[in-house]
Amino acid sequence: MAQPRRFRTANRRYRFLFWPMMAVYVAIILGTKFLIDDDKAPDWLNAACAIAATLPLFIVLYAIRRQTDETDEYTRMRYLKALRDAGLITSGLLFLVGFLQIFDVIGDIEVFWFGPVFFFAFGLARLPECFGRTV
Amino acid sequence: MFWPDGVKLGMKNILRILRTEKGWSQAELADRLDVSRQSVNAIETGKYDPSLPLAFAIARLFGRSIEEIFDDEAESAEAAE
């Protein structure tokens, strides 16, 4: 099977989705923070805000998936390894936090934070490639 | 042949030699192949073996055959025995 070697196109298509979606995400977060009082707002409005804030993130996840499909073979391999490492680190942390809670060592932690942890781990796993030597 | 008989260069391919002959940087070669610069670096240093389509693209770019660019170490070892 012929493998795509479209590094630039894949990057361009990723950025075209990533940056607008991040702008939408920030706008929604700031908008809901300053315009809506979630203690007084009806449940349906809070739910709508939560879904609206999540939608751009889903689109970014789709962009990551599409980029790994479309990019060149070596980049795909590195991305998939980084995603694997991020997934393993995040699930490891989930187990650790879960057991710490079960044994009453720590209190509740917002599940939300495991999302940023995943992307932080993904970034960390990709860090070594930033120091590749150019000849 | 690109190197004298009996000289063991300890590399799996001569991509770096061909690239520098052309005066290209890794980024320029990556641009021509539409792959990442890290891909070129990984292939040159033997950390990654390209797929057949990419190997053919490299061969076409330099006007050589795949066998001329990539050294089949297994075959070389068999021939040496």
Pairwise CA distance, residues A104 & A92, whole Å: 18
- Extents of the domains making up chain A: 1-71, 72-135
Preferred mutation among A1, A67, A71, A72 to probe B, highest tally of B CBs within 10 A: A72
pLDDT at A36 over 90: no
Question: How confident is the model over B28-57, as pLDDT tens digits?
Answer: 999 999 999 999 999 999 889 999 999 999
Residue B71 has a pLDDT of: 85
The alpha-carbon gap from B76 to the nearest alpha carbon of chain A, in Å, equals: 26
Q: Mean pLDDT across chain A, nearest whole number?
A: 89
Residue A106 has a pLDDT of: 94
Q: Which residue of B has its CA nearest to A132?
A: B38
Tokens at A58, concatenated: 């889903």
- Facing residues of B13 across strands? B70
- Answer yes or no: CATH 3.40.1390.30 is held by domain B15-80: no
Q: How confident is the model at residue A10 (pLDDT cuts 50, 70, 90)?
A: very high
The alpha-carbon gap from B46 to the nearest alpha carbon of chain A, in Å, equals: 13
Question: How confident is the model over A76-120, as pLDDT tens digits?
Answer: 999 999 999 999 999 999 999 999 999 999 998 998 899 999 999
Whether A8 sits inside 8 A of B34 (CB atoms) is yes
Tokens at B32, concatenated: 């021509």
8 Å CB contact between B45 and B30: no
Contacting residues of B for A10, CB less than 8 Å apart = none
The shortest CB-CB distance from B41 to any of A8, A72, A133 is to A133
- Extents of the domains making up chain B: 15-80
Pairwise CA distance, residues A87 & A18, whole Å: 20
Where in B1-81 does DSSP place strands (E)? Answer: none
Burial A98-121 (b: 16+ CB within 10 A, else e): eeeeeeeeeeeeeeeeeeebbeeb
Q: How far is CA B73 from CA A62, B10, B11, in A?
A: 40, 10, 9
Contacting residues of A for B27, CB less than 8 Å apart = 134
Task: Please tell me whether the interface predicted TM-score (ipTM) of this complex is above 0.85.
Answer: no
Whether A3 sits inside 8 A of B51 (CB atoms) is yes
Angle subtended by helix axes A114-126 and A73-102, to nearest 10: 140
Contacting residues of A for B43, CB less than 8 Å apart = 74
> Computed from CA positions of residues B4, B5, B8, B11, in that sequence, does the dihedral angle turn out positive or negative?
positive
Q: Give me the residue label for tokens 């209190």.
A: A107
Question: How confident is the model over B3-32, as pLDDT tens digits?
Answer: 444 444 434 899 999 999 999 999 999 999
